[in-house]
Amino acid sequence: MTHAAKVVAVTGASSGIGEATARRLAVDGHSLFLGARRTDRLEALTKEITATGGSAAYRRLDVTDAADVRAFVSATRERYGRVDVVVNNAGVMPLSPLEALKTDEWDRMIDVNVRGVLHGIAAALPTMRAQGGGHFVNIASVGAYEVSPTAAVYCATKFAVRAISEGLRQESTGDIRVTLVSPGVTESELADTISDPVARETMRTYRAVALPASAIADAIAYAISQPPQVDVNEIIVRPAASAQ
């Protein structure tokens, strides 16, 4: 157990980085409140964590619904008495060329990747202010720093997450810590949302060398384990064997 166990709410916890983060933070002794749409997976993960002595609970969550995110944060506070960390992890990545005009997919990325993060901040910030501190960990991507073909809208959403995170950091008076974690190619289900055949094939090649989700979980664990006076602002994690 860590010397300073925290209450951590994780969105998008049913797979990939969110799932790996829940497992890692449970081992570190933190109390987890997990959210995602697939409650069967959340239930299985919660049982796994509690069976090994960890502390975890879950609630169905749609991050595009501001009221649902507020209820998720409230449920975290009701169960554990406080909310120390929010990991805004939920995201989608249906890549396609702009000329494909997949406007519904553009809207979905904006709703989940940008509004979802804003909803998480809006829901938890008043609680964190009232309790005297807190920590937001926002999951972006190397796409927050560079743009590639078929990824214009996805990268735009991650640039936005980076800007939002930096703005929140600058507005903090020291009581709210903000960490932006930007993974390179990582094993996850993100590519499963790609409907464009060309983009899907390109991504299959791009993802030939990928990090395990646990590598990103380790970065998150590092950031939240720092003493209160230390704010780890940005972490970029890439596969050592990849230029991307």
The two most distant CA atoms of the chain are separated, in Å, by 52
Q: How far lies 125's CA from each of 121, 128, 168, 171, in Å?
A: 6, 5, 10, 12
Closest CA to 153 of 196, 197, 110: 110
CA distance 48 to 52: 7
Give catalytic status of residue 145 as yes or no. no
CA distance 128 to 76: 12
Q: Which phi and psi angles does 173 have, rounded to 5°? A: -100, 15
Set 58, 80, 154, 206: catalytic member: 154
Residue type, 195: S
Instruction: Tokens 């055949």: give the residue.
Output: 197
Using alpha carbons only, what angle is made at residue 192 by residues 191 and 198, rounded to the nearest 5 degrees? 65
Residues classed as catalytic: 154
